[in-house]
Amino acid sequence: MNTSRRAAMFGLASVSLLCARHPALAAPVREITWEDLIPTGVPYPEIVGDGNLDEQSDTWLPEFDENATKFNLSLDGTRIKMPGYMLPLETGGTGITEFILTPYVGACIHVPPPPPNQLVFATTKTPWPSESMWDAIWVTGTIKVNPISTNLAEIGYEIEVDEIELYEWM
């Protein structure tokens, strides 16, 4: 067997071994949008009901119907990449390690929160710099359907983030 053929076979064996030890590296990444979090057949405009105006605080209080808590079960356990904004929940000396991924900046803070099927609870072992918390980002990781209740919002999904990167506008 010639040297280049042996090197190629060794390279393939190394990649196979690496992927076998780290299944997340072997799983393909599916790029999704916020609409993908809603099950097929549920129109995006129907996830928020009419709602009421709180005149005292001049805030719109949406009424969520049953469509707001319908989740796309086919995504459960899928490795995905999706854009969004972070609402920090846990910040340490080196940055943000726990946050709510939201479809727009400021969600859950100054306005009523989006419905549960439009929020993702995210954790990362690699902290994101606090000074960059208002930037649009991409997150990559494994998403799960896992309704969570916090003092800020009801959340429908959870993701263990492998990678965070800035979202580049085109």
Half-sphere exposure at residue 99, Cβ-oriented, CA atoms within 13 angstroms: 31
Mean pLDDT of 135-161: 95
Mean pLDDT of the chain: 82
| ∠ Cα 139 140 142 (to 5°) | 120
Q: What is the distance between the alpha carbons of residues 26 and 170, in angstroms, rounded to a whole number?
A: 29
Q: What is the distance between the alpha carbons of residues 33 and 138, in angstroms, rounded to a whole number?
A: 11
Q: Say whether pLDDT at 18 is over 50.
A: no
Global pTM reads 0.78
What was the pLDDT predicted at 84?
97
Q: What is the distance between the alpha carbons of residues 55 and 43, in angstroms, rounded to a whole number?
A: 29
For 47-104, write each residue's pLDDT tens digit. Answer: 776 777 778 877 767 777 788 999 999 999 999 999 999 999 988 788 999 999 999 8
Q: Say whether pLDDT at 111 is over 80.
A: no
